[in-house]
């Protein structure tokens, strides 16, 4: 009887583990450049922009930005829009938000940091 309970318990644990593993989505693997961009984002952007959909900290949430950015400004692809939004935030205010984004990122970020953060944001589909 004791072994039967252990066997049933192990079977249940195995089933639960298999179910939870299959229901989780694997996080995308980031390139070195994207990882560098994630670090820049965490240091410079995460205080105001959430990565979770429909979560507002101060500025618009960033989840899905690579997809939304494709359609924000006619003539701009997603990368161009994201870069321009970082460098010239007053040019493309998202409706419903006031102008609070710093305008000095062009001076404070190196070109490598800017390239990296744009690459990271492009992974957020």
* pLDDT score at 79: 98
Tell which phi-psi region holds residue 65, choosing left (phi > 0), alpha (psi between -120 and 50) or beta: alpha
Asked whether the beta carbons of 120 and 109 are under 8 A apart, the reply is no
Q: Report pLDDT digits (tens) over 110-119.
A: 999 999 999 9
- Do residues 72 and 81 make contact, with C-beta atoms less than 8 angstroms apart? yes
75: pLDDT strictly greater than 50? yes
Which distant-in-sequence residues (6+ apart) come within 8 Å of 112 by Cβ? 36
Whether residue 13 has pLDDT greater than 50: no
Assigned architecture for domain 30-121 = Orthogonal Bundle (1.10)
User: Do 60 and 124 touch, CB atoms closer than 8 A?
Assistant: no
Instruction: Please state the rounded mean pLDDT for residues 97-115.
Output: 96
């Amino acid at each position: 009887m004791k072994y039967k309970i252990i066997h049933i318990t192990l079977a249940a644990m195995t089933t639960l583990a298999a179910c939870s593993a299959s229901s989780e989505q694997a996080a995308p693997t980031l390139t070195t450049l994207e990882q560098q961009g994630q670090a820049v984002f965490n240091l410079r952007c995460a205080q105001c922009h959430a990565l979770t959909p429909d979560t507002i900290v101060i500025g618009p949430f960033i989840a899905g930005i690579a997809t939304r950015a494709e359609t924000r400004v006619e003539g701009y692809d997603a990368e161009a829009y994201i870069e321009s939004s970082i460098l010239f935030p007053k040019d493309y205010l998202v409706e419903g938000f006031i102008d609070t984004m710093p305008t000095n990122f062009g001076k404070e970020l190196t070109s490598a940091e800017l390239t990296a953060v744009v690459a990271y944001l492009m992974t957020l589909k």
